[in-house]
Amino acid sequence: MPDDDYFKSIAELFELNEEAWARHANPWSVWTRIATWPALMLALWSFHWWGAWSLLPLGVATGWLVLNPYAFPPPASTQSWASRAVMGERVYLLRERHPIPLEHANAVRLVSLGPAIGGLLFAAGLLTAEPAAGLAGAGVLVISKLWLLDRMAWLYDAMKDEVPEYAGWLR
């Protein structure tokens, strides 16, 4: 099971401050980030075809993932599913300050297994040059990551009326 501090370490890695979170809540940020996942996986797989040259598309995809939370302006509205998913990630990260319901914490932990399992299966396919395993892992990873984002939107919806700070993110 992924460590409880997984989301915190990702936020710290990308140094998301208040402005970056507001920008990342733009649905364009969320959907272009999601669209980058297959490109990143293809860049990783391209090592089998291009060898060290695969570092070029890998660097481009990784660079975009790092820049993405800063690339778009804050959205005019945060009512969309994508915006609420990002705000749910913030709620989850702030769970020590404002505890979240146990059923949401447990669901996030459980659903977080999906991307981990998908990533391992994809890595196994990558290492063994087995396309079926790679595609299966990629599919599991993407579907379960979308499911996790849905849980985050659900978490935000459950907590926005409980914590005034969270309600202030909605416009």
- pLDDT of residue 14 exceeding 70: no
Q: Which domain holds residue 26?
A: 6-167
How many domains is the chain built from? 1
Average of per-residue pLDDT across 69-82:
96
Q: Look-up: residue for tokens 């907590």?
A: 159
Q: What is the pLDDT of residue 59?
A: 94
Give the burial class of 119: count Cβ atoms within 10 A of its Cβ; 0-12 exposed, 13-18 middle, 19 or more buried: middle
pTM here is 0.85
Q: State the pLDDT at residue 42.
A: 87
Structure tokens at 100: 């979240």
- Whether residue 10 is contained in a domain is answered as yes
pLDDT for the residue 10: 55
In this prediction, residue 16 has a pLDDT band, given cuts at 50, 70 and 90, of confident
